[in-house]
Amino acid sequence: MMYGSIEAGGTKFVCAVADESLEIIDRVSFPTTTPEETMELVIQFFKGYQDKLEGIGIGSFGPIDIHRNSPTYGFITSTPKLLWQNFDFVGTMKKHFSLPIAWTTDVNAAAYGEYAFGKGKGLSSVVYYTIGTGVGGGAIQEGRFVEGFSHPEMGHMMVVPHKNDSFTGNCPFHGNCLEGMTAGPAIEKRTGKKGQDISPDDELWDMLAYYIAQCAYNTTLMLSPDVIIFGGGVMKQRHMLKKVHQAFEDLMQSYVKTPDLTNYIVTPELEDNAGTIGCLALAKEAKIHL
Amino acid sequence: MMYGSIEAGGTKFVCAVADESLEIIDRVSFPTTTPEETMELVIQFFKGYQDKLEGIGIGSFGPIDIHRNSPTYGFITSTPKLLWQNFDFVGTMKKHFSLPIAWTTDVNAAAYGEYAFGKGKGLSSVVYYTIGTGVGGGAIQEGRFVEGFSHPEMGHMMVVPHKNDSFTGNCPFHGNCLEGMTAGPAIEKRTGKKGQDISPDDELWDMLAYYIAQCAYNTTLMLSPDVIIFGGGVMKQRHMLKKVHQAFEDLMQSYVKTPDLTNYIVTPELEDNAGTIGCLALAKEAKIHL
Nearest CA in chain A to B162: A160
Nearest to A224 among B150, B218, B221 (CB): B150
Averaged over A85-89, what is the pLDDT? 97
**Residue A286 scores a pLDDT above 90:** no
Residue A171 belongs to what domain range? 119-268
* Interface membership of A250 toward B (CB under 8 Å): no
Residues A127 and A15 grouped into a single domain: no
Residue B236: the pLDDT is 92
Q: Please report whether residue B95 resides in a domain.
A: yes
Domain match, B257 and B141 both: yes
Using the predicted structure, report yes or no on whether residue A287 has a pLDDT greater than 90.
no
Residues in CB range of B124: below 8 A, 6 or more apart: A148, B141, B142, B226
> What stretches in chain B show pLDDT beneath 70?
289-290
- Angle (deg, nearest 10), helices B203-223 and B240-252: 50
Is there a single domain that holds both residue B21 and residue B127? no
Contact flag B224-A149 (C-beta cutoff 8 Å)? yes
Q: What confidence tens digit (pLDDT) does each residue in A171-201 have? A: 999 999 999 999 999 999 999 999 999 999 9
Give how many domains chain B has, as a whole number.
2
Query: Does B68 contact chain A (CB < 8 Å)?
Result: no
**A251/B174 Cβ within 8 A:** yes
Give the span between the Cα atoms of B5 and B93, in whole angstroms.
12
Instruction: Report the pLDDT value the prediction gives residue B289, as an integer from 0 to 100.
Output: 60
- A129 and A70 assigned to the same domain: no
User: What ipTM was estimated for this complex?
Assistant: 0.95
How far is A222 from chain B, CA to nearest CA, in Å? 5
Q: Which residues of A, range 126-145, sit inside 8 Å of B by Cβ?
A: 137, 139, 141-142, 144
pLDDT at A214: 98
**Does residue A281 lie in a domain region?**
yes
- B113: in domain: no
Among B173, B222, B256, whose Cβ lies nearest the Cβ of A222? B222
pLDDT score at A73? 97
B263 plus B130 within the same structural domain:
yes
The pLDDT value recorded for residue B116 is 96
- Are B56 and B129 part of one and the same domain? no
CA distance readout (Å), B119 to A55, A193, B6: 38, 50, 22
**Within this chain, do residues B12 and B130 fall inside the same structural domain, yes or no?**
no
Average pLDDT, chain A: 96
Q: Does residue B114 belong to any structural domain of this protein? A: no
| B221/A152 Cβ within 8 A | yes
| A9 located within any domain | yes
Do A193 and A246 belong to one domain? yes
- How high is the pLDDT of residue A80? 83
Of B139, B214, B256, which has the smallest distance from its Cβ to A158's Cβ? B214
Distance from CA of A278 to the nearest CA of B (A): 20
Chain segment A6-57, per-residue pLDDT in tens = 999 989 999 999 999 999 999 999 999 999 999 999 999 999 999 999 999 9
Round to whole Å and give the CA distance between A92 and A89: 5
Both B185 and B160 in one domain: the answer is yes
User: Is some CB atom of chain B closer than 8 A to the CB atom of A79?
Assistant: no
Of B153, B158, B264, the CB nearest to A256: B153
For residue A155, give every residue at least 6 positions away whose Cβ sits within 8 Å of its Cβ, in sequence order, or none: A129, A134, A135, A136, A137, A177, A178, A179, A183, B221
User: Is residue B277 a part of any domain in this protein?
Assistant: yes
Looking at residue B153, its pLDDT comes to 96
**Residue among A158, A222, A225 minimizing CB distance to B217:** A158
Q: Please state whether the predicted TM-score (pTM) of the whole model is above 0.90.
A: yes
Are B149 and A222 a contacting pair at CB < 8 A?
no
Between chains, do A217 and B158 touch, taking CB under 8 Å as contact?
A: yes
* B78 CB within 8 Å of a chain A CB: yes
Question: What pLDDT is stored for residue B18 in this prediction?
Answer: 98
**How many Å lie between the alpha carbon of A174 and the closest alpha carbon of chain B?**
7
Residue A171 lies in a domain: yes
Alpha-carbon distance A122 to A120, whole Å? 6
pLDDT tens for each residue of B152-174: 999 999 999 999 999 999 999 99
Residues A179 and A74 both lie in one domain: no
Considering the domain boundaries, does residue A158 fall inside one? yes
Q: What is the CATH number of the domain that holds A167?
A: 3.30.420.40
Does the pLDDT value for residue A289 go beyond 80? no
Number of Cβ within 10 Å of residue B223's Cβ equals 25
Same domain, A45 and A100: yes
- Residues B175 and B211 reside in one and the same domain: yes
Where helices occur in chain A by DSSP H, the ranges are 35-47, 89-96, 106-117, 178-182, 184-191, 203-223, 240-252, 261-264, 274-288
